[in-house]
Structure 1
Amino acid sequence: MELFLLSNGKLPDEPALLGYANEHIQAMFKTFNIHSAVLIPYALIRSDYDARAQDLEDALGIKVSSIHHAEAPSEVIEQAQCILISGGNTWMLNQRLHENGLIVPIQRAVRERNVPYIGWSAGCNVATPSIRTTNDMPVSNSVVLPSLGLFPVQINPHYIDAHLSGHMGETRDERIAEFCAVNPSESVIALREGSLLHVSGNNLSYFSAKGQGFKVFRHGQETLEYQDTRALSSLLPFNCQ
């Protein structure tokens, strides 16, 4: 299995999508001989699907086609060399994946045929068992359906631990702690901007363009920050580095 789970699509000083992860992605493309990819853009609500595909084509140097043109989306996934799932609204993305019958085809492509999966923001969220740790507003009336479950632990992308002056609502830490209190058997990995988790075969690694760590939230345990994935060895069935 080959997964790139990115907190976000780009950094403020980067003109290209996935720029901070490009070196890692290009190495994977070379290993897998990737020349094309299918984009699943359903998370985008106020952006053009084809424009996003073109941006990715320019950034990655491969042919990128948006799945919204397909009459039979599941068949497109069956032929895909690589799957790209864009950021945007996680609720809309997960709903459309179910409506278009793509949950099982994507799971089979990634797990059985080893098709690489690259997802950022919402695309990262839907790779986990559920979207309950998304930061997004539920703009549709969809129920909380299961997501792809390619990665077995919940992730909170776009994680930030800053407390804005004058903001009287709960902090991100408090919201994640609430999730863990309601779901004490589950853990949450918090990914800061410019960071990613990479599953390659049975190996898990972590990269941060800013040299920052990730946090792990567990109910009843102190929340700590880590720089490598060995802290996740008790939670995940991978060789953590």
Structure 2
Amino acid sequence: MRRLLLISNSTLHGSGYLDHCKDTIKYFLTDKVKTVLFVPYALQDRDNYASTARKAYTEMGYGLDSIHEKPSAIEAVRKAEAIFIGGGNTFRLLKTLYDEKVVVEIRKRVLEDGIPYIGSSAGTNVSTVSINTTNDMPIVYPPSFEALALVPFNINPHYLDPNPDSKHMGETREQRIKQYHEYADTPPVLGLREGCILHVEGDKATLRGKTDARLFVRGKEPVEFTPGADMSFLLSATE
């Protein structure tokens, strides 16, 4: 039974790292989990990143081990009670997951063994079918854009609505997602605004957090969903 907490962003304006979602994380993990395995691959300075994450999880009452501090990434995943993958550059993150040969291991632990998975920003991107709807620049090239596929759709974290007062003439986030859907067999894309969270328990998905989400399905108009909405239909999503 898969258990996922997919967070749009780690830091919400006016608060510290994970402050906006600490209560949700504690509710999700419960007291059954003692230590979380952190994956800091999305940033270059892994030591500092792990220190930041460790402080936040310690305040929540959990221990935190960073995968980069372990002699074997594969063994670390195999022994993990829960996994947290943080934000940063999605291309660097996915490439390193492939380099360390943990893509299949993480998928197995989450989908077959049922350990909790928490993703934030890039960590949410890689939980989906592919990273094709990330906002990040391709600073490195992973062997594939196919990701962990813990859910059968894509997510666009940090989703931004068009600003009618802006003089910027580039594509809006909505236009870019619709460009992605110009290709056949592309899955739905859930746009998670800052402060928005998708909580998955088995075959049930619920929108949580402080903001609404916007769903894009190929060939259809976008639809808005508010916190508390049942998003379970996405777990059997097809084009």
TM over 0.5: yes
The one-letter amino acid of 1:40's match is V
Segment drifting more, 179-188 vs 100-109: 179-188
Work out the CA distance in 1 between the residues paired with 2:13 and 2:86: 17
Q: Deviations over 1:30-51 (max 9, x none)?
A: 26x1110110000013562332
Q: CA deviation at 1:220?
A: 2.1
Provide the alpha-carbon RMSD of the alignment.
Answer: 1.9
- Say yes or no: does 1:64 pair with 2:60: no
1:212-223 alignment to 2 at 5 Å? Answer: 212-223=211-222
TM-score of the two chains, using structure 2 as the length reference:
0.90
Residue 4 of structure 1: aligned partner? 5
**Cα 1:131–1:73 shift into 2, 3 Å:** same
Residue 191 of structure 1: aligned partner? 192
Segment drifting more, 106-115 vs 83-92: 106-115
1:138-153 alignment to 2 at 5 Å? Answer: 138-153=138-153
Q: CA deviation at 1:236?
A: 2.1
Work out the CA distance in 1 between the residues paired with 2:193 and 2:217: 17
Residue 94 of structure 1: aligned partner? 94
Work out the CA distance in 1 between the residues paired with 2:131 and 2:59: 28
Q: Deviations over 1:3-41 (max 9, x none)?
A: 0000000212222x222222222123326x111011000
Q: CA deviation at 1:56?
A: 3.0
1:11-50 alignment to 2 at 5 Å? Answer: 11-15=12-16, 17-30=17-30, 33-45=32-44, 48-50=48-50
Work out the CA distance in 2 between the residues paired with 1:54 and 1:144: 30
Gaps of 5+ in 1: none
Q: What percent identity do the matched residue pairs reach?
A: 36
The question of whether the paired residues in 2 share the 8 Å contact of 1:216 and 1:224 is answered with: yes
- The number of residue pairs the alignment matches comes to 233
Aligned-partner SS, 2:197: strand
Aligned-partner SS, 1:104: helix
The question of whether the paired residues in 1 share the 8 Å contact of 2:215 and 2:222 is answered with: yes
Residue 224 of structure 2: aligned partner? 225
Segment drifting more, 62-71 vs 121-130: 62-71
Work out the CA distance in 2 between the residues paired with 1:222 and 1:237: 19
Work out the CA distance in 2 between the residues paired with 1:233 and 1:80: 27
Q: Deviations over 1:187-210 (max 9, x none)?
A: 11100000100011222111122x
Residue 130 of structure 1: aligned partner? 130
